[in-house]
Amino acid sequence: LIAQPDITEIKRLNIRKSGSVYFADIELKILNFNAEKAHERVDHLVEELHNAIPELEAATIHYEPDHPSYQTIVKLLDSDKEHLSVEFGRTPWIEVIHQENSGEIISRKTISNPSANDKKGRAFKLVALLLSLHTDKVIIGHIVPDENIVGLFDALNIELISQTDKL
């Protein structure tokens, strides 16, 4: 289980034998973006366990999301690094802010958008980068983002905020 890239911790693993069969009760932390996908992943893990251990009669997996205790807020910035960008995929700079639930800023850094100048797929490459940063909230300049991006963020449970130019 721990070899799986989205399993970050096995909190409890109880296995008992009854006759010639085994029963497993497992509690783990799983990287997930929403409960439905995590539940599907757990169902797949149970199936993998049954395939790997023919004598396994039943496996119950309890899970909790492995998510930091802070929020990751990303601001998409213009070339001056001071104003919010109005171009989603072409935004040249990304400010990554880690903020405690109390509002206290833990860290803040500005990175370049590696796909800003690509000819194709800029928006989706940016979304992939945001996912790798475990982004909870994206703040962009006052525009109406493409409906596909809005739908994707909704599905990934990432809040998208469009606001005025001033930070």
Give per-residue pLDDT as tens, 17-43: 999 999 999 999 887 656 677 788 889
Alpha carbon of 154 to those of 87, 108, 136: distances in Å?
19, 25, 11
The confidence score (pLDDT) of residue 138 equals 94
pTM above 0.75? no
Would you state the pLDDT for residue 157? 81
Q: What is the mean pLDDT of residues 59-79?
A: 87
User: What's the pLDDT band for 167 if we cut at 50, 70, 90?
Assistant: very low
More confident residue, 129 or 3: 129
Average pLDDT over residues 118-144: 89
**29: amino acid identity, one letter:** K
Q: Kindly report the average pLDDT of the chain as a whole number.
A: 87
Closest CA to 37 of 131, 126, 121, 140: 131
Average pLDDT over residues 139-165: 82
**Do the strands 70-77 and 137-141 form a parallel or antiparallel pair, or are they unpaired?**
parallel
CA quadruple 1, 65, 68, 129: dihedral sign: positive
Provide Rg for the chain, Cα atoms: 21
Closest CA to 83 of 161, 126, 141: 141
